[in-house]
């Protein structure tokens, strides 16, 4: 199916709940939580672009106008002139499609038109029985990938939480998120501080920065430090599944899953510690018992925004198009469990408002701005790509 009106076509603002205190009873620290409205409502409708997809995870566009969509089971699909091609792309690496793992993000090289390089992140099985996040690249020609090579393999093992978002900056450095691999946080300050996400000798819960061929940049923040993985750019993350550079300021933003509550939006700075699991705003699943020693601590970066309860954040876009002028400069965050699209208004690095635009239409896995200036949403379930268009 292509370009069909979705059943619910007009959805307007709703403010998020307030959070006067953290789960452990403390007054929230420097990181602001949910904030209330005041935003102008903009008429929009949700239109299906393509459906019949199986657990799609990410979308990207080529200079030709073709849309690429990853399916978690291991298929890379092409949407050409609004139609989903029947055959998946040949040459995609084998993936471990189990649990949260599989084929995940896709990103064309910024110079794709000249070098035809396409990057994929995915979960891969290793000979020792473990699985980790891997990034590979190959040349995309004649609707197939050739010369595929792994350029980065995470030094981490675990069950799920693969992270896997990819983003290039203006200088063609590649940034990768890797999750904490679902290592359980337990104990007091000493035990939480020993969690792998606080250990710079592993890739649990990190953002990595590389040259486009996988080499480590000489100006990475931990280069030259003994016992530290020198591709790490920031650490102390849980499971970041949304990451984007602000197209105008160059700021790097990401969102990451909290446990039960405590999803975060973070401004990423080199070498900084973002606190998981020592500090945060969530609690343990089911029991609601305490995880963190508090919501803030010296030497750990507070979030720019957080959600209690969690919306299960995935996908992140900073909008610069002209189809929704009132939304220029806004940040858009998808929600999986929350089945919603959150629009955050920014004043510099401060989140000043939140609006919910899409409700209960499915699990939103990715959010992107298309070359047409419209906002595209990848729905994990139901398996489809849809877009927001102006109108009522």
Q: What is the CATH number of the domain that holds 301?
A: 2.120.10.30
**Residue 161 catalytic?**
yes
For the beta sheet containing 340-347, the strands, ordered from the edge strand earlier in sequence to the opposite edge, are 313-318, 331-335, 340-347, 350-359
Taking 90 as the threshold, does the pLDDT of residue 129 lie above it?
A: no
Domain count, the chain: 1
Q: What is the DSSP string of 318-345?
A: E---SSSGGGTT-EEEEETTTTEEEEEE
Domain limits for position 81: 4-390
Which residues are CB-contacts of 119 (< 8 A; sequence separation ≥ 6)? Answer: 105, 106, 107, 108, 109, 135, 136, 137, 166, 174
When pLDDT is cut at 50, 70 and 90, the band that residue 230 belongs to is very high
Taking 80 as the threshold, does the pLDDT of residue 180 lie above it?
A: yes
C-alpha to C-alpha distance for 268 and 60, rounded to whole angstroms: 23
Name which residue leads in pLDDT, 39 or 70. 70
When pLDDT is cut at 50, 70 and 90, the band that residue 32 belongs to is low
When pLDDT is cut at 50, 70 and 90, the band that residue 46 belongs to is very high
Q: Is the pTM of this model over 0.85?
A: yes
The helix (H) or strand (E) run that includes residue 347 is strand 340-347
Q: Which of 161, 203, 204, 257 is catalytic?
A: 161
Compute the average pLDDT of residues 72-101: 95
As a whole-number percent, the residues of the chain with pLDDT over 70 amount to 90
Taking 70 as the threshold, does the pLDDT of residue 14 lie above it?
A: no
Closest CA to 153 of 229, 221, 81: 229
When pLDDT is cut at 50, 70 and 90, the band that residue 20 belongs to is very low
Compute the average pLDDT of residues 226-234: 97
Residue 163 confidence (pLDDT): 94
């Amino acid at each position: 199916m292509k370009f069909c009106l979705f059943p619910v076509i007009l959805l307007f603002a709703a403010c998020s709940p307030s959070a006067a205190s953290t789960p452990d009873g403390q007054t929230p620290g420097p990181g602001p939580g949910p904030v209330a409205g005041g935003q102008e409502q903009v008429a929009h409708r949700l239109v299906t672009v393509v459906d019949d997809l199986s657990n799609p995870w990410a979308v990207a566009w080529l200079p030709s106008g073709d849309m690429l969509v990853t399916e978690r089971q291991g298929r890379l699909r092409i949407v050409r002139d609004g139609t989903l091609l029947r055959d998946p792309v040949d040459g995609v690496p084998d993936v471990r499609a189990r649990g949260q793992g599989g084929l995940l993000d896709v990103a064309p090289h910024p110079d794709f038109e000249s070098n035809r390089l396409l990057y994929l992140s995915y979960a891969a099985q290793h000979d020792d029985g473990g699985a980790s996040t891997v990034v590979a690249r190959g040349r995309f020609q004649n609707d197939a990938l050739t010369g595929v090579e792994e350029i980065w393999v995470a030094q981490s093992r675990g069950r799920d939480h693969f992270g896997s978002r990819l983003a290039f900056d203006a200088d063609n450095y590649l940034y990768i998120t890797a999750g904490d691999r679902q290592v359980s946080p337990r104990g007091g300050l000493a035990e939480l501080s020993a969690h792998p996400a606080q250990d710079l000798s592993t890739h649990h819960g990190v953002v990595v920065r590389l040259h486009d061929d996988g080499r480590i940049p000489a100006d990475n923040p931990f280069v030259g430090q003994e016992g530290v993985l020198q591709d790490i750019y920031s650490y102390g993350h849980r499971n970041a599944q949304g990451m984007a550079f602000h197209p105008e300021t160059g700021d790097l933003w990401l969102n990451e899953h909290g446990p039960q509550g405590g999803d975060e939006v973070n401004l990423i700075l080199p070498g900084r510690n973002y606190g998981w699991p020592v500090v945060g705003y969530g609690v343990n699943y089911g029991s609601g018992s305490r995880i963190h020693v508090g919501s803030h601590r010296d030497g750990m970066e507070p979030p720019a925004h957080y959600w209690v309860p969690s919306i299960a954040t995935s996908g992140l876009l900073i909008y610069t198009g002209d189809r929704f002028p009132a939304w220029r400069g806004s940040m858009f965050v998808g929600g999986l469990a929350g089945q919603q699209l959150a629009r955050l208004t920014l004043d510099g690095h401060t989140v000043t408002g939140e609006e919910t635009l899409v409700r209960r239409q499915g699990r939103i896995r990715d959010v992107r701005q298309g070359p047409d200036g419209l906002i595209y949403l990848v729905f994990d379930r139901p398996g489809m790509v849809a877009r927001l268009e102006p109108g009522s």
